[in-house]
Structure 1
Amino acid sequence: MSAHNVTVLNPDQSNVIEIDAEVASAWLEAEEAILLDVREQEELEMEWIPGATPMPLSKFDAKVVSDTVVANTIVVVICFTGRRSIDAAERLIEFGFKEVYSVKDGLLAWNAAGLESVDTTAMLI
């Protein structure tokens, strides 16, 4: 597995570990993890990450997750800024997933790193 460049948040605030966008991208490309994009449908229609699994936070529950994510899979969660992905990652831990990460600063960091995404707003005339 790729080296873990992780930042542990204040344990009083969260049990979620944040990783850099570059690490998440490498894991996704190597098929070492699943990337759950918890942004809402309107956001996903504007820009999406190839290979990511869309799972809007508003529809996020144990059944939807268990129908989508295989147990014992490394799960990385992303949103626009990183806040909703931490919320989703906390829920995944509550659902019993053991290896869960959040992309630090979300899609903003993903784009700042120059990682692949599809901006559909650029396609509009």
Structure 2
Amino acid sequence: MNFFADYNNLALIALAVVSGGLLAWPTISRSAGGKTVNATTATQLINKRGAVVVDIREPAEYAKGHLPQARSAPLAELANRAASLAKDKSAPIIVVCQTGQRSSKAHAALKQAGFGEVYSLEGGVAAWQQAGLPLVK
């Protein structure tokens, strides 16, 4: 009991708790944004399971280059257009933005619209290009 009464030890305990929380933060924040897939796994979902790719970037960004067969649905319009994205709500959906930052909002909107299997592309279109995969203009 004397261990907890010493203020130096309390400071060390507080430091350990804070540093543990900071180490766990990336995992906690990633799971809050939903499931993510890398470019390789996304390609497998598209080719083997017929995943629908939804590009949530603005039309000008989409026009500069997008994933093959990606459907444009800007984030601001996503809630209204969710029903028309896929006929089967159990089909996998891959949400794509430029860097992967905006896709967590879209992920939540699509889950709320009733889609069961929604993924965000880690790193977005930038990671797709970095992996050497093609874009369509």
Which interval holds the TM-score relative to the shorter structure?
0.7 to 0.9
Bigger share in helix? 2
Preserved contact between residue 54 and residue 96 of structure 2 (Cα < 8 Å): yes
Q: Is the contact made by 2:49 and 2:92 (CA closer than 8 Å) also made in structure 1?
A: no
Regions of 4+ moved over 3 Å: none
Which whole-Å CA distance do the structure 1 matches of 2:104 and 2:132 have between them? 22
Q: Distance in 1 between matches of 2:33 and 2:27?
A: 7
| Deviation (angstroms), 1:33 | 0.9
- Identity, % of aligned positions: 29
Task: Name the structure 1 match of 2:67.
Answer: 49
TM-score, normalised by the number of residues in structure 1: 0.79
CA distance in 2, matches of 1:35, 1:91: 15
- Are residues 1:106 and 2:124 paired? yes
Please point out which of 92, 104, 114 is paired with 1:86.
104
Confirm or deny: 8 A CA contact 1:36 1:76 kept in the other structure.
yes
The count of residues paired between Structure 1 and Structure 2 equals 111
TM-score by length of 2: 0.72
C-alpha separation between the residues in 2 aligned to 1:36 and 1:55? 6
CA spacing shift, 1:12–1:30, aligned 2, 3 Å: closer
Is 1:21 equivalent to 2:76 in the alignment? no
Amino acid at match of 1:68: L
Q: Deviations over 1:51-110 (max 9, x none)?
A: 11111112111x411122222111110100101111101111122211110001111110
**Could you tell me which amino acid in structure 2 is paired with residue 69 of structure 1?**
A
Match of 2:7 in 1: none
Q: What letter is aligned with 2:81?
A: V
User: Structure 1: any 5+ residue segments left out of the alignment?
Assistant: 1-7, 121-125
Distance 1:37 1:113 in 2: 18
Q: Aligned-pair RMSD on alpha carbons? A: 2.0
SS at match of 1:30: helix
User: What amino acid is the match of 2:102?
Assistant: R
Matched residue SS, 1:35: strand
Counterpart check, 1:68 vs 2:88: no
Structure 2: segments with no counterpart, 5+ residues: 1-25
Amino acid at match of 1:111: Q
Structure 2 counterpart of 1:5: none
